[in-house]
Amino acid sequence: MDRRQFLGSSIASALVLTGCGGSSTSATGGTTNSNDEYSQALIIPAELKGTLKDGRVHYDLEIQTGTSNFLSNASTETWGVNGSYLGPTLRLENGSNVSINFTNKLPEKTTMHGHGMHVPAIMDGGAHQVINVGETWSSVYKVNQHACTNWYHPHLMGKTAEHVINGLTGLIIIDDAKSQQLDLPNRYGIDDIPLIVQDRSFNDDGSFDYSPTQREKMHGWKGDTLLANGVIKPFIDVEAKQIRFRILNGSNSRVYNFALKSGKAFKQIATDNSFLEAPVELTQLRLSPAERAEIVIDFTDTLGGNDLFVDLDSGKEVCKINIKSVATKVTDLPQQLTTLAQLNPADAVNTRQFILSGRQGNLTINNKSMDMSVINEVVPVNDIEIWEVKNTMGMVHNFHIHATYFQIIERNGSAASVADNERGYKDTVFLPAGESVKFIVRMTDFTDANSPYMYHCHLLEHEDLGMMGQFTVV
Ligand code: C2O
Ligand code: CU
Ligand code: CU
């Protein structure tokens, strides 16, 4: 029943204790009213650093059922990882050997995919790595990629949308030698704040209202209430300094256009799979489902003030930021964050086309719906390829690939139309109605002719309707 049951880190409890504006706990011990706007502190998912055993870092995770109190007057049956809703943030070090062990304590089978992870297909947790009830599945690999913010979620054929709605989502933060040297806010939960934004709807009895009609599935289901880290309209108290947010659009199908209510500008520093070479100044940040962005907002001069994090598209509010205390450590955002190796389109040996279309309740890629037994594309290792994705429909989609990152080289046929904040490494790209994108990609390792990776639209209702395909690396 404890809504903070998935916590456990001292940082998180410190936040709850010190972050209290006077209304998040009551002297009489009564229940907190989460319907009172901004009376609940933002929950910071616990950080899980793993335990070192025989040169390998082990992370033990239980996928389980639970009860959460999002609403003041009713509780909600939910699913979570090591708790009742969402899961801990896995903190991985580039170069380390890890074993991420998921035990399925749910009443049904599921899978657990490391979204953005560069790992062998059999360790990917995609549709084929089913975890039966009561079983443990271990994803064992050596972390080999740039510092970034990834995430984990189920990927069971036809069930992904529902399993994610129930609460199965957590972050994976990868650190590397370079990221640790940059003068960036990096105190987790203090000036480096994870923000998983989701939309849900509730029935009167508190249960999640998720029973999309065929039409809602086709258009992508949207909930009427936003949650930030599993809390409706929370507040967060921060120091008067540069604050980093690691934002995940963890919604099934809702696309956000994030902004600060004040209109204040901020800097995006990272895309899905890497830092940007230099910070990009923005006043609005568009994120489609599964995309991540790290941003830095400078509150140095606004001690005592506050701002709201909002979605301009829906007019809905995400969370309130109170600039509450004096900085205990100052950071100075570097002008250069990294250098990214660029693949040259002239070196591409193949171009593949992916046409997103559909009709009569069927969504397809290249006119085919996902079939677990069909390998749609065979990609030779180390070849540089251009993948061209076209959204031929009058509705939004996006496109995600497993296995590795890509770099966007054209939008709607124009290199100049690729936004500055899309020039980092990406694994998911937004495709507004009727638009197209070209990206360049190279599969660098993990050849396995028998175990496919997936590519798909990450609007989860669309993925479940079949807008997905499989590729192997050979
Ligand atoms: Cu986020 Cu195929 O997954
Ligand atoms: Cu993925
Ligand atoms: Cu789609």
Please tell me if the CB atom of residue 127 comes closer than 6 angstroms to any atom of ligand 1.
no
Residues 299-324 have a mean pLDDT of 98
pLDDT tier, 360 (very low <50, low <70, confident <90, very high otherwise): confident
Considering the domain architecture, whether residues 281 and 369 belong to the same structural domain is answered as: no
Question: Does the structure show a pLDDT above 70 at 4?
Answer: no
Question: Does the structure show a pLDDT above 90 at 384?
Answer: yes
Element (H, E) at 255: none
148 is a domain residue: yes
Considering the domain architecture, whether residues 128 and 270 belong to the same structural domain is answered as: yes
Considering the domain architecture, whether residues 325 and 350 belong to the same structural domain is answered as: no
- Which atom of ligand 1 lies nearest, measured to the CA of 116? 1
**End residue of a domain, out of 272, 299, 333:** 333
- Identify the pLDDT of residue 35: 58
Please tell me if the CB atom of residue 403 comes closer than 6 angstroms to any atom of ligand 1.
no
Please tell me if the CB atom of residue 459 comes closer than 6 angstroms to any atom of ligand 1.
no
pLDDT tier, 285 (very low <50, low <70, confident <90, very high otherwise): very high
**End residue of a domain, out of 301, 333, 365:** 333
The CA 215 to ligand 3 mean position distance, Å, reads 13
339 is a domain residue: no
Q: What is the CATH number of the domain that holds 437?
A: 2.60.40.420
Considering the domain architecture, whether residues 268 and 356 belong to the same structural domain is answered as: no
Coil, strand, or helix at residue 31? coil
194 is a domain residue: yes
Please tell me if the CB atom of residue 254 comes closer than 6 angstroms to any atom of ligand 1.
no
Please tell me the residue having the least CA distance from ligand 1 atom 3.
Answer: 115
340 is a domain residue: no
73 is a domain residue: yes
Q: What is the per-residue pLDDT across 257-273, written as a single tens digit (0 to 9) for each?
A: 999 999 999 999 999 99
Provide the domain count of the chain: 2
159 is a domain residue: yes
Q: What is the per-residue pLDDT across 172-220, written as a single tens digit (0 to 9) for each?
A: 999 999 999 999 999 999 999 999 999 999 999 999 999 999 999 999 9
Dihedral Cα 222, 224, 227, 232, nearest 10 deg: -170
Q: Which ligand is nearest to the CA of 454?
A: 1
Q: What is the per-residue pLDDT across 34-93, written as a single tens digit (0 to 9) for each?
A: 457 899 999 999 999 999 999 999 999 999 999 999 999 999 999 999 999 999 999 999
Q: Which ligand is nearest to the CA of 126?
A: 1
- Which atom of ligand 1 lies nearest, measured to the CA of 463? 2
What is the rounded distance in angstroms from the CA atom of residue 95 to the CA atom of residue 401?
22
Q: What is the per-residue pLDDT across 209-248, written as a single tens digit (0 to 9) for each?
A: 999 999 999 999 999 999 999 999 999 999 999 999 999 9
Question: Does the structure show a pLDDT above 60 at 19?
Answer: no
Q: Which ligand is nearest to the CA of 156?
A: 1
Considering the domain architecture, whether residues 264 and 223 belong to the same structural domain is answered as: yes
Please state the pTM of the whole predicted model: 0.93
As a whole-number percent, the residues of the chain with pLDDT over 90 amount to 91
Please tell me if the CB atom of residue 113 comes closer than 6 angstroms to any atom of ligand 1.
yes
**End residue of a domain, out of 333, 354, 386:** 333
Name which of 125, 123, 187, 176 is nearest 149 in CA terms: 176
Question: Does the structure show a pLDDT above 80 at 2?
Answer: no
C-beta of residue 116 within 8 angstroms of C-beta of residue 427: yes
Residues 303-326 have a mean pLDDT of 98
Q: Which ligand is nearest to the CA of 291?
A: 1
Mean pLDDT, the chain, whole residue set: 93
Domain, as residue range, for 452? 345-473
- Identify the pLDDT of residue 121: 98
Considering the domain architecture, whether residues 322 and 449 belong to the same structural domain is answered as: no
244 is a domain residue: yes
Q: In what order do the strands lie in the sheet with 47-48?
A: 47-48, 89-93, 170-175, 148-153, 113-115
Name which of 237, 220, 266 is nearest 39 in CA terms: 237
Question: Does the structure show a pLDDT above 50 at 26?
Answer: no
Considering the domain architecture, whether residues 151 and 108 belong to the same structural domain is answered as: yes
The CA 11 to ligand 2 mean position distance, Å, reads 29
Considering the domain architecture, whether residues 143 and 262 belong to the same structural domain is answered as: yes
Considering the domain architecture, whether residues 296 and 375 belong to the same structural domain is answered as: no
20 is a domain residue: yes
Write down the residue that tokens 């690691």 correspond to.
Answer: 246
Coil, strand, or helix at residue 439? strand
- Please identify every residue whose CB atom is under 5 Å from ligand 2, which is an ion: 115, 402
Q: In what order do the strands lie in the sheet with 407-411?
A: 362-365, 350-359, 384-391, 436-442, 407-411
- Which atom of ligand 1 lies nearest, measured to the CA of 290? 1
Please tell me the residue having the least CA distance from ligand 1 atom 1.
Answer: 115
Q: What is the per-residue pLDDT across 92-133, written as a single tens digit (0 to 9) for each?
A: 999 999 999 999 999 999 999 999 999 999 999 999 999 999
Considering the domain architecture, whether residues 114 and 176 belong to the same structural domain is answered as: yes
Considering the domain architecture, whether residues 107 and 214 belong to the same structural domain is answered as: yes
Neighbours of 460 (CB within 10 A): 27
The CA 114 to ligand 2 mean position distance, Å, reads 6
C-beta of residue 459 within 8 angstroms of C-beta of residue 431: no
First to last CA, the chain: 49
Determine phi and psi for 139, rounding to 5 degrees: -100, 110
Considering the domain architecture, whether residues 144 and 20 belong to the same structural domain is answered as: yes
